[in-house]
């Protein structure tokens, strides 16, 4: 049985106080419907990370993630945050390769491979994002695009290290657009990713890697997405900023 996971990616939102309040609201919202079988990961901004980790560490089933890390251990990189610094806050996860990082900050697969390495070296679990853009989807090159991201970002890893990952499939055209991948598109790609991992690392590993769906996932569509056999949960942007919606998504797994 693979883990069921829901990650809330706050992106560049919430003041310090608003962020801590949102965490309290999420915890409160889930008190009556705790979804004990679901791992709940909150990825606030760096500003909130230490305080969020402190707040959540005593609560069962909650974890925190950073949204990014630098690819070098430490040094004169003004404004950057190292994996070791993230680990020192108590966070155990880090999102790597989000399409906004790839698009707006020019992060390519080679750089992301280094970020994955430094995250793993610091005992952080990478939540590695991949997904095709609209052009690639329209040109029917989506499988190839995702395969390349897998290959160049992750296939340098040993089997032991690869088995520590969480993967998030996020079609770029679905992120923040209100357009969600259909069940058919989501399950099709998740199944493809799993079969590619199977080819490279074998069934023991491909069958345990959680693959999350991201892209306009919300309280209305989460249930049918999470019911797909190869969809193990979601990476949630916009809908993770409202406690009621986020809790509803967490409670969307069918038994």
Where in the sequence numbering do the catalytic residues fall?
A: 98, 170
Cβ–Cβ < 8 Å for 162, 182: no
> Is residue 216 a contact point for ligand PGA (CB under 6 A)?
yes
How many chain residues interact with ligand PGA (CB under 6 A)? Answer: 13
Give the residue, chosen from 8, 9, 232, 253, that forms a contact with ligand PGA under the rule CB under 6 A: 9
116 vs 125: CA distance, rounded Å: 9
Max intra-chain CA distance, the chain: 50
Smaller CB distance to ligand PGA: residue 26 or 201?
Answer: 26
Q: Bridge partners of 63?
A: 41
- Residues listed for the chain: 255
Closer by beta carbon to ligand PGA, 19 or else 237: 237
Does 176 participate in binding ligand PGA (rule CB under 6 A)? yes
The region of 48-56, 146-154, 194-202, 214-222 touching ligand PGA under the rule CB under 6 A is: 214-222
Helix 142-154 to helix 109-121 angle (10° resolution) is: 50
Query: SS3 helix, strand, coil % of the chain, rounded to 5?
Result: 45, 15, 40
Of 19, 131, 210, 214, the one binding ligand PGA (CB under 6 A) is 214
Instruction: With H, G, I as helix, E, B as strand and everything else as coil, classify residue 168.
Output: strand
Among 237, 243, 249, 253, binds ligand PGA (CB under 6 A): 237
Selected from 29, 107, 170, 230, the binder of ligand PGA by CB under 6 A is 170
225 binds ligand PGA (CB under 6 A): no
The binder of ligand PGA chosen from 49, 235, 243, 248 (CB under 6 A) = 235
The residues, ordered by sequence, that sit 6+ positions from 93 with a Cβ below 8 Å of its Cβ are 7, 41, 43, 63, 64, 65, 66, 124, 125, 126, 127, 166
Interacting span for ligand PGA (CB under 6 A) from 63-71, 78-86, 183-191, 236-244 = 236-244
Name the one residue in this structure whose structure tokens are 């590619």.
196
**DSSP for residue 173:** G
Identify residues 67-96 at the interface with ligand PGA (CB under 6 A).
none
Does position 252 interact with ligand PGA (CB under 6 A)? The reply is no
CB of 80 to ligand PGA, least distance (A): 21
CB of 225 to ligand PGA, least distance (A): 11
State how far the Cα of 171 lies from the Cα of 176, in Å rounded to an integer: 11
Contact, 153 vs 112, CB < 8 A? yes
Binding site for ligand PGA (CB under 6 A): 9, 170, 175-176, 214-217, 235-239
């Amino acid at each position: 049985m693979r883990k069921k996971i829901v990650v809330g990616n706050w992106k560049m939102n919430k003041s310090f106080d608003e962020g801590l309040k949102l965490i309290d609201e999420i915890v409160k919202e889930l008190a009556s419907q705790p979804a004990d079988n679901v791992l709940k990961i909150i990825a606030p901004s760096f500003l909130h990370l230490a305080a969020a980790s402190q707040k959540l560490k005593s609560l069962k089933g909650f974890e925190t993630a950073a949204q990014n890390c630098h690819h070098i251990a430490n040094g004169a990189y003004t404004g950057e945050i190292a994996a070791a610094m993230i680990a020192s806050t108590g966070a155990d996860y880090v999102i790597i390769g989000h399409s906004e990082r790839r698009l707006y900050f020019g992060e390519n697969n080679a750089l992301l491979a280094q970020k994955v390495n430094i995250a793993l070296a610091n005992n952080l679990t990478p939540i590695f994002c991949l997904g095709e853009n609209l052009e690639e989807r329209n040109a029917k090159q989506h499988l190839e695009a995702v395969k390349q991201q897998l290959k160049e970002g992750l296939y340098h890893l040993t089997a032991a290290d690869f088995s520590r990952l969480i993967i998030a499939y996020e079609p770029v055209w679905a992120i923040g657009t209100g357009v969600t991948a259909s069940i058919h598109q989501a399950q099709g790609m998740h199944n493809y990713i799993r079969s590619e991992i199977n080819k490279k690392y074998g069934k023991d590993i491909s069958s345990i890697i959680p693959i999350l769906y991201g892209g306009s996932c919300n309280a209305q569509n989460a249930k049918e997405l999470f019911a797909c056999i190869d969809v193990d949960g979601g990476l949630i942007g916009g809908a993770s900023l409202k406690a009621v919606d986020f809790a509803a998504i967490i409670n969307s797994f069918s038994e």
